[in-house]
Structure 1
Amino acid sequence: MSEANPVGAGARPAPGSGAVGEPRVAIERAVPEDAGEILTVQRAAYVTEAQLYGDPFIPPLVESAEQLQKVLAGDAVVLKAVLDGRLVGAVRAQFSDHTCLVGRLVVVPDLHGRGIGGRLLAALEDEVTGRADACVLFTGHLSETNLRLYRRLGYAETHRERVAAHLTLVHMRKPLVPAGKAGG
């Protein structure tokens, strides 16, 4: 495991700060050496999506370790969630002008529903606020759990895009408010 690289220290209470039933999760910057573990989590997380849409060749399942290492070595922001030394989730972002393009939010299947995905996304938003004015993302129209999470975190649907007979992408956006400017 790579050396800890904490993100957003002091910006909000530490993820997994001890609430009953809440796993103690550290959110850290990922490094190229994390590619293998992230890819393993990504593949495990996206199997259900592939089954839902009847497509075993969705991009997250066919991405190679070399491709992911290039992302990690580039200018993307990639965060990982670590629980007791185990990489249990990740999220990545790239930028287009002042917009954060969120992708590949993944959590290991055995820890779904424990708040890790929400914490990863919140940490990413903290990390990119100031560099980006908004975050955008997309998910499939049948991915109700994902859609509920994104709506709960303040993302609003902007449009839908039919990309195949079996798949319509739901595009969502959330404006980012720099610290100190919230509420007025």
Structure 2
Amino acid sequence: MSDADIVNEDRHPDQPAEREEIVISPISDRDAGEVLTVQRAAFVSEAAIYGSVDMPPLTQTLPELEAELRSESGLTARVDGRLVGAIRYVEKDGLLLIGRIAIAPDMQGEGIGRLLLESAEKASDADVAELFTGSLSEANIRLYESCGYREHERVPDGDGTAQVFLRKNLRAG
């Protein structure tokens, strides 16, 4: 019997092994390929909701993403060394503008998006954080509201949907 054949006898064979903790790290342009892969996988469900794959997270190229990562801040989430999530943001005039949050489909619902949001907020000196999502993205809106974000503005898209901008005060007062 090799080491690979050893099984934890306390665990039922159908139960998944405990995975390592979620490791949050600053994003870099070296992460671009993995980030793009996760981003595209994550936004397929959004494309299905809106009936179109013509959305920037799905059409963005690797060179475009590499350039973006050199000019924006962000964080990655890794589990067992695998990149499973990313968030990008910029600070401008006391406002933390949160861009694409992308979580690998098989890891959605595990608290990774919430952890990335909280980590970005803590890393920021901004007074207010803002993000947006489409009006049909109800799960995203619920997540953001559960993290303390409140609807600030709706901008109609002309197709019956809207971009929903949500804000959160990051500093007391």
* Interval containing the TM-score (normalised by the shorter chain): 0.7 to 0.9
SS in 1 for 2:54: coil
SS in 1 for 2:157: strand
- Measure, in 1, the Cα distance between the counterparts of 2:96 and 2:117: 12
Is 1:107 equivalent to 2:103 in the alignment? yes
Partner of 1:118: 114
- Measure, in 2, the Cα distance between the counterparts of 1:151 and 1:119: 14
Which of 130, 134, 138 is the equivalent residue of 1:140? 134
Which residue identity is paired with 1:161? Answer: V
Shift of 1:95: 2.5
- Measure, in 2, the Cα distance between the counterparts of 1:42 and 1:135: 21
Shift of 1:96: 2.4
Is 1:170 equivalent to 2:164 in the alignment? yes
Partner of 1:69: 66
- Measure, in 1, the Cα distance between the counterparts of 2:20 and 2:117: 16
Q: Is the 8 A contact 1:23 1:114 kept in 2?
A: no
How many equivalent pairs are there?
Answer: 156
Partner of 2:11: none
SS in 2 for 1:126: helix
Unmatched tracts of structure 1, length 5 or more: 1-20
Report sequence identity in percent: 44
Larger Rg: 2
Partner of 1:8: none
Shift of 1:36: 0.4
Is 1:38 equivalent to 2:32 in the alignment? no
- Measure, in 1, the Cα distance between the counterparts of 2:170 and 2:68: 24
Shift of 1:106: 0.8
Deviations 1:127-160 (A, max 9, x none): 11x2x11110111111111011100000000111
- Measure, in 1, the Cα distance between the counterparts of 2:20 and 2:111: 9
- Measure, in 2, the Cα distance between the counterparts of 1:174 and 1:127: 15
Unmatched tracts of structure 2, length 5 or more: 1-17
Question: What value does the CA root-mean-square deviation take over the aligned residues?
Answer: 1.5
SS in 2 for 1:164: coil
SS in 2 for 1:119: helix
TM-score (norm 1): 0.81
Q: Is the 8 A contact 2:19 2:79 kept in 1?
A: no
- Measure, in 1, the Cα distance between the counterparts of 2:153 and 2:66: 32
TM-score (norm 2): 0.86
* CA spacing shift, 1:22–1:163, aligned 2, 3 Å: farther
Shift of 1:72: 1.4
